[in-house]
Structure 1
Amino acid sequence: MSGKDRLQIFPSRMALTVMKARLKGAQKGHSLLKKKADALTLRFRQVLAKIIETKVLMGEVMKEAAFSLAEAKFACGDFNHIVVQNVTKAACKVKSRKENVAGVNLPVFEYYTDGTDCYELTGLSRGGQQIDKLKKNNAKALELLVELASLQTSFVTLDEVIKITNRRVNAIEHVIIPRIENTLSYIITELDEREREEFYRLKKIQEKKKAIKAREELEREERMAAQERDDNVPNLLDNEEDEDLLFL
């Protein structure tokens, strides 16, 4: 196992506990990020399907709006100056809000009107029906444009976040977790080797103590045997018969 495949850490019981906690945290983080990526991918596909549907509808609505404009100009003539003169403030407005999806804030644009109609007198002379139809078709087209802009913004945001999340998931799965596992394996191997060395050292110490004890026991027995032999030797001075023989 090379040093690049694991963390540079001193193998100890404390390091083993820390690495186990880090492994558990990495696995938990990987699980949460995987769930987040799945949720974002699901929403991404929903937005993509909605964009396709809106674009198809947008083609039909824009075609109707362009045809309505041609009909209104044919019936009323050029009414651009009337529209320009009646403009005071925007009747169609857009507001934005945030939508939270798995911790990601997606911008959402909403189309609304303030209730005022700057062109309510337009078309009283002629072509009023065509102009009213034109207003409705253009309002519908504008609403679809705002919805499409909201979907496109959410699409781009989700695409970036999904890429970042997938990179993090892959980094945790293929780099961080294997490195921590290799470090754990290294620490466990080193600790087992230390335990075997300690067991061998203790075994040698016990054998040495037993040898010393046996030698001391043998020496003690030899001293006791020598003392017993000394006690069994007869003393001639203490024997009266020997004293009489001595003086004869």
Structure 2
Amino acid sequence: MNENRYPVTASLFMLKEIKHRQEQVNRGYQLLKRKAEALRIRGRQVASELASTQAILGHTLREAYITLAAVKFTNGESNALVLENIGQAQIRVQRVAENISGVSTVSLLAVEEDGIGDSFRYAGLGAGGHRTGEAKKAFREAVRILVKFASLRNSCILLDEAIRTTLRKVNGIEKVIMPKLRNTENYILTEMDEREREEFHRLKMVKAKKVKTRTRLLLRQSSSACGAGEAKEESGDESPAPLPIRRHSIECLTGILTCTSTLSMTTESGDFKPVCYPHNWDDDDLLF
């Protein structure tokens, strides 16, 4: 059965390592959540600016084309004049790098070159030169707004992709990595507790076995001593009597041997404990 955890060995070292990984994952999770929130705020700002700029751009382009129609009506067709006098660009686009919560974006800025001469400043002076100037200003303003619209559109696309990637990472950490780490920690703790209970049970069994062996040895020695004393009494030998043996100690030793099961198991804790112990033993006799 495949469990939702990492394949690790149950040990104190791995438990410490898993806890350290959990701390790092929690720190990264919080940072990613803050990043996603900051990107969302910036994305809303860019989206609102983009909507307002798009509305302004439509109005500006409409006014610019109206002024161009007025120039054509006043001065006639001027496309040939424009194509003949094309030189250096008077408006250039500058790329400005911007970092938004770790996401690199590029903003476009329209820069007007003042040192370049205008070949159309005297065009149409005889017949409506002010119309040409108004058309020029209208189209320059349209170019600036168009550059700003392109910059906001690019930033909006980059921020949208960054928000999706960040949210994907956040969901992966929250739904996959963190549950696996928690399940791994619970598995290690469960295995270590089980090993501790098994070791405790083994020590109890060994201790009970040693107690039983020592009890049999003492009972055997007492039985041999009693048999030797009776034989000497029958032979009439007046040798010093053996050391008296306490009656309750012998009864307790006999009770231990006659017990069918020296251990009883509690259903709740699962521990084993001896049933009978001698009443006159010291604590040193019960140790290993």
Return the TM-score normalized by structure 2.
0.75
More moved, 7-16 vs 93-102: 7-16
For 1:78, the equivalent position in structure 2 comes to 77
For 2:138, the equivalent position in structure 1 comes to 137
Return the TM-score normalized by structure 1.
0.86
Tell me, yes or no, if the aligned pair for 1:93 and 1:113 is still in contact at 8 Å.
yes
Quote how far apart the aligned CAs of 1:120 are.
2.0
Quote how far apart the aligned CAs of 1:194 are.
0.7
2:169 and 2:119 mapped to 1: Cα distance?
53
Amino acid at match of 1:182: N
Structure 2: segments with no counterpart, 5+ residues: 240-288
Quote how far apart the aligned CAs of 1:219 are.
4.6
- Do residues 173 (structure 1) and 171 (structure 2) align? no
What SS does structure 1 have at the residue aligned with 2:6? coil
Tell me, yes or no, if the aligned pair for 1:40 and 1:158 is still in contact at 8 Å.
yes
Tell me, yes or no, if the aligned pair for 1:91 and 1:118 is still in contact at 8 Å.
no
1:228 and 1:124 mapped to 2: Cα distance?
151
1:228 and 1:45 mapped to 2: Cα distance?
106
What SS does structure 2 have at the residue aligned with 1:3? coil
For 1:123, the equivalent position in structure 2 comes to 124
2:17 and 2:144 mapped to 1: Cα distance?
56
Quote how far apart the aligned CAs of 1:37 are.
0.7
What SS does structure 1 have at the residue aligned with 2:94? strand
Quote how far apart the aligned CAs of 1:118 are.
3.4
Quote how far apart the aligned CAs of 1:159 are.
1.1
2:119 and 2:211 mapped to 1: Cα distance?
111
For 1:241, the equivalent position in structure 2 comes to none
- Do residues 162 (structure 1) and 166 (structure 2) align? no
Provide the aligned length of Structure 1 versus Structure 2: 234
> What do the CA deviations read for 1:95-120 (whole angstroms, capped 9, x no partner)?
10211001000110000111123322
1:79 and 1:204 mapped to 2: Cα distance?
110
- Do residues 183 (structure 1) and 166 (structure 2) align? no
Amino acid at match of 1:234: E
Quote how far apart the aligned CAs of 1:86 are.
1.9
- Do residues 207 (structure 1) and 208 (structure 2) align? yes
Quote how far apart the aligned CAs of 1:87 are.
1.4
Tell me, yes or no, if the aligned pair for 1:82 and 1:122 is still in contact at 8 Å.
no
What SS does structure 2 have at the residue aligned with 1:31? helix
Quote how far apart the aligned CAs of 1:227 are.
7.4
Overall identity of the aligned pairs, in %: 35
For 2:28, the equivalent position in structure 1 comes to 29
Of Structure 1 and Structure 2, the greater helix share is in: 1
What SS does structure 1 have at the residue aligned with 2:150? helix
Tell me, yes or no, if the aligned pair for 2:50 and 2:149 is still in contact at 8 Å.
yes
For 2:89, the equivalent position in structure 1 comes to 90
Amino acid at match of 1:147: K
Quote how far apart the aligned CAs of 1:125 are.
2.2
What SS does structure 2 have at the residue aligned with 1:10? coil
More moved, 100-109 vs 69-78: 69-78
Q: Which has the higher contact order (CA 8 A, sep 6+)?
A: 1
Amino acid at match of 1:102: S
Tell me, yes or no, if the aligned pair for 2:122 and 2:129 is still in contact at 8 Å.
no
Quote how far apart the aligned CAs of 1:220 are.
5.1
Tell me, yes or no, if the aligned pair for 1:99 and 1:105 is still in contact at 8 Å.
yes
- Do residues 234 (structure 1) and 233 (structure 2) align? no
Query: In the TM superposition, what are the counterparts of 1:42-81 in structure 2 within 5 Å?
Result: 42-81=41-80
> What do the CA deviations read for 1:189-208 (whole angstroms, capped 9, x no partner)?
11111111111111112222
- Do residues 194 (structure 1) and 198 (structure 2) align? no
- Do residues 147 (structure 1) and 151 (structure 2) align? no
